[in-house]
């Protein structure tokens, strides 16, 4: 079934993905291979610019360095485009998620194996 194809679990390998990312304000190709040799937390949220999950997303982003300290990267996934992610991470935290660490786009026209992304590696 399609749900079992993408079912993920702790210690399981993440599905391969690749796509356009925003790294330090510039578009770049990024893939699962960029995380080789590291643990990876993938979490999903509905849309940018909503108030459904920004508290949790900001909390993950705020802990990015703690995750890195244990060789783990955190990636957020939604259906929005990488353009939308860029706009959202450039929006002050009062209404956005300024400097969000990473957000991948899994839009309706994009499957998990080709996930575009936004990355802000300037977050300390």
The two counts, helices (H) then strands (E), for the chain are 4, 6
Residues designated as active site: 53
Q: In 3D, which of 95, 87, 89, 65 has the Cα closest to residue 76?
A: 89
3-state secondary structure string across 62-103: HCHHHHHHCCEEEEEEECCCHHHHHHHHCCCCCCCCCCCCEE
| Residue 12 within a domain | no
> The whole model's pTM is what?
0.66
Mean pLDDT, the chain, rounded, equals 69
Quote the domain boundaries for residue 54: 17-119
**pLDDT tens digits, 60-108:** 878 878 888 999 887 777 778 888 888 887 877 665 666 565 555 543 3
| Residue 4 within a domain | no
| pLDDT above 60 for 22 | yes
Helix (H) / strand (E) containing 59: helix 54-62
The CATH number of whichever domain residue 108 belongs to comes to 3.40.30.10
| Residue 32 within a domain | yes
């Amino acid at each position: 079934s399609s749900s079992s194809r993408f079912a993920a679990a702790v210690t399981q390998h993440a599905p391969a993905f690749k796509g356009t990312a925003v790294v330090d304000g510039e578009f770049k190709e990024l893939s699962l291979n960029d995380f080789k040799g590291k643990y990876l937390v993938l979490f999903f949220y509905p849309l940018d610019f909503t108030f459904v999950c920004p508290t949790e997303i900001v909390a993950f982003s705020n802990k990015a360095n703690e995750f890195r300290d244990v060789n783990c990267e955190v990636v957020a996934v939604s259906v929005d485009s990488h353009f939308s992610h860029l706009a959202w991470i450039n929006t002050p935290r009062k209404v956005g998620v300024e400097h969000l660490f990473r957000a991948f786009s899994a839009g309706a026209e994009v499957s998990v194996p080709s996930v575009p992304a936004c990355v802000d590696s300037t977050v300390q």
